[in-house]
């Protein structure tokens, strides 16, 4: 059902864990299946995502999507990270079965929620 890239990101997820002094934290659950993903981002004064970690409680596709998402945005600016779409995550994973694409949508949504919160906090300071 899953290709080798998805299985690798599921069995050996990248950037899993928490960042105690994260700049921003965001969490959401998928309305379609209940999977939950939480991202912890460390963003420097130049708006560069210097570190990112995640925790996902869900299926293999949800864990792989979150793992790949961290790989795609780590080291990018907030503006660059906003351009990462769920389609890019799916493509980077070598594809997901159609019923599991919503897992990549969850990852994109949580990242955008975190970035929105970061920008809002920055604009209020």
Q: Which residues are catalytic?
A: 33, 103
Residue 51's nearest CA partner among 83, 66, 82, 73 is 73
Helix (H) / strand (E) element for 9: namely helix 4-11
Rounded to whole angstroms, how far apart are CA atoms 3 and 49? Answer: 29
Under a CB-based contact definition with an 8 Å cutoff, are residues 23 and 115 in contact? Answer: no
Pinpoint the alpha helices (H) of 26-85. 60-73, 78-82
Residue 54's nearest CA partner among 28, 86, 104, 17 is 17
The DSSP bridge partners found for residue 28 are 37
């Amino acid at each position: 059902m899953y290709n080798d890239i998805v299985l690798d990101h599921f069995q050996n997820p990248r950037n899993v864990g928490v960042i105690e002094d994260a700049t921003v934290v965001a969490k959401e659950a998928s309305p379609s299946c209940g999977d939950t993903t939480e991202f912890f981002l460390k963003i420097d004064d130049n708006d560069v995502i210097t570190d990112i970690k995640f925790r996902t409680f869900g299926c293999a596709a949800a864990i792989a999507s979150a793992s790949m998402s961290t790989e795609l945005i780590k080291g990018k600016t907030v503006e660059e990270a906003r351009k990462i779409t769920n389609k890019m995550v799916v493509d980077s994973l070598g594809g997901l079965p159609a019923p599991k694409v919503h897992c990549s949508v969850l990852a994109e949504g949580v990242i955008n929620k975190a970035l929105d919160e970061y920008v809002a906090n920055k604009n209020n300071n």
